[in-house]
A and B are shown apart, each in its own frame.
Chain A
Amino acid sequence: MTLLERDPHAPDNWQGSLPVTNRYTFGLAGERFFRALKENGQITGTYCSACDHTYVPAQTYCERCLTELDDWRDIGLVGEVHTYTILHVDLDGCQKSNPEIIAFVRMGDGGLVHRLGNVAPDGIEFGMRVQAILKPPAERQGSILDILYFEPAAA
């Protein structure tokens, strides 16, 4: 007799879960950026006068000339759609009933990747002006999701 039969009473697999958690802090500039978003509802950037460049989101150092940046600026909530994509599947690979629109919204000389809302996919144009819609102040947690989405800005 060889041992090629599986025992029908045997557990056929072992299940488990790797308990891996992590805590990400945003760093010096990130902390101040998200504080401004949470407490004042502002999107902020830093300006390098030597390079005439406005970093959004804010950075501590200019990546062109390596100068430390301390000129913090309120960028406003309006930016332009630089590029976008439409997501039809979710994280598990299942078809989404409401496709989601993700855009890179240009602000200052940088920008944010976020959702677009209140706009049909065929109503989007490159260069379209869009405005950030924030959560009510009491619900903000100091996260990029304090911005609910960007929607077309009033002309």
Chain B
Amino acid sequence: MTSNHHAFPGTPLSEDEFRQGKILFNHDRLNGNFAWDTGIAIGSYLAGLKEGYLSGSRCAHCRKVVIPPRVVCEWCFRPMDTYVRLGDTGTVNTFSLCYVTWDVQRIIDPEMPAVIEIDGASPGHGILHKLGEVDPQALHIGMRVRAVWKPAEQRTGAITDILYFKPTGEEETR
């Protein structure tokens, strides 16, 4: 609809007019602080990331291993039985090449978000993360990748303790 409008009514203002004090204004900020409870299962997942490993949880009834770990099985609604330590390697399940940043600036080297099926978890179970040290043109589904971790002293118990996943270079089985 707005494409039909070439001149919008109103008083246009430029950034210079603000900077040079030609326009009076109030600058304000919301005090939007929050604390999000990590919960039992995600808490232990984040503690694992700080130690440098990925973990999931296992339902003995469904014989499913999910990542990130959950307290309750999504299929049978029974409590999960145990945490499982998983590898930090996996397979690219799907990916995207993203040539804009979150605030819509064009970039030359694309961000490469991907869902990575983690080794040790049930087939189809993975996490969303970024890929790095890979040629965007060579990137493909089924590629084997390994986590690149931050140095231990810089890890805080966050998903960003893994910087990105990079190709392992191993032969692919599928």
Contact = CB atoms under 8 A, between A and B. Distances in A.
Interface in A14-46: 14-26, 28, 30-31, 34-35, 38
Interface residues of A, number: 33
A25 B38 contact: no
Contact of B11 (A6, A14, A19, A28): A28
Contacts of B24: 25-26, 30-31, 34-35, 38, 142-143
Contacts of B47: 7, 9-11
Contact of A16 (B18, B34, B44, B46): B34
A3 B57 contact: yes
Contact of A17 (B33, B37, B71): B33
Interface in B1-54: 11, 13, 18, 23-30, 32-38, 40-41, 43-44, 46-47, 50
A149 B36 CA distance: 41
A5 interface: yes
A12 interface: yes
Given A18-B30, A28-B11, A13 B35 contact: yes
Interface in B41-93: 41, 43-44, 46-47, 50, 57, 69, 71, 79-83
Contacts of B27: 21-23
B26 A3 contact: no
A66 interface: no
5 contacts: A10-B157, A11-B46, A12-B37, A22-B27, A24-B26
Interface of A: 1-7, 9-26, 28, 30-31, 34-35, 38, 142-143
Given A15-B36, A24-B25, A35-B24, 12 more contacts: A1-B82, A3-B71, A11-B38, A11-B156, A12-B37, A13-B35, A15-B33, A18-B30, A24-B28, A25-B23, A25-B25, A31-B23
